[in-house]
Amino acid sequence: MTKALYKKHFTTKGGKLFWKSSRGRKAAGSEAGTNHGDGYKTVRIEGKAHYVHRVVKTMTSAKPVQKKLDVDHKDRNRSNNNPKNLRTTTRSVNNTNRKSWKKK
């Protein structure tokens, strides 16, 4: 999606998204996003789900986030969508930022 479409629907502050206009039960100015239990939040725009961290990175970056790149949380905290904590990277580099698997 484009930055213009995101900016049409949201404002961002400190890594959080807020609706610009009312949507159903969500009032304008309320925080946008639904947590799905895995730590990531998503928002729906025009019937399609978008990860909040990708939306925040797109809205706060000079360049658009390419679909083939991941948006990585530097501190591994999936709920910390502060732009300073997000970076675009390849999947292989993103995987190096994972917690190591414990051997049993």
- Topology classification of domain 3-95: Homing Intron 3 (I-Ppo) Encoded Endonuclease; Chain A (3.90.75)
Cβ–Cβ < 8 Å for 24, 33? no
The tens digit of pLDDT for each residue in 43-101 reads 999 999 999 999 999 999 988 889 999 999 999 999 999 999 999 999 998 888 877 64
Are the CB atoms for 53 and 86 separated by under 8 Å? yes
DSSP output for 8-53: HHEEEETTEEEESS-BTTBPTTSBP-EE-SSS-EEEEETTEEEEHH
Question: pLDDT digit string (tens) for 1-48?
Answer: 688 999 999 999 999 999 999 988 889 999 999 998 888 999 999 999
pTM, 2 dp? 0.87
Tokens representing 69 are: 């790149």
Domain regions of the chain by residue span? 3-95
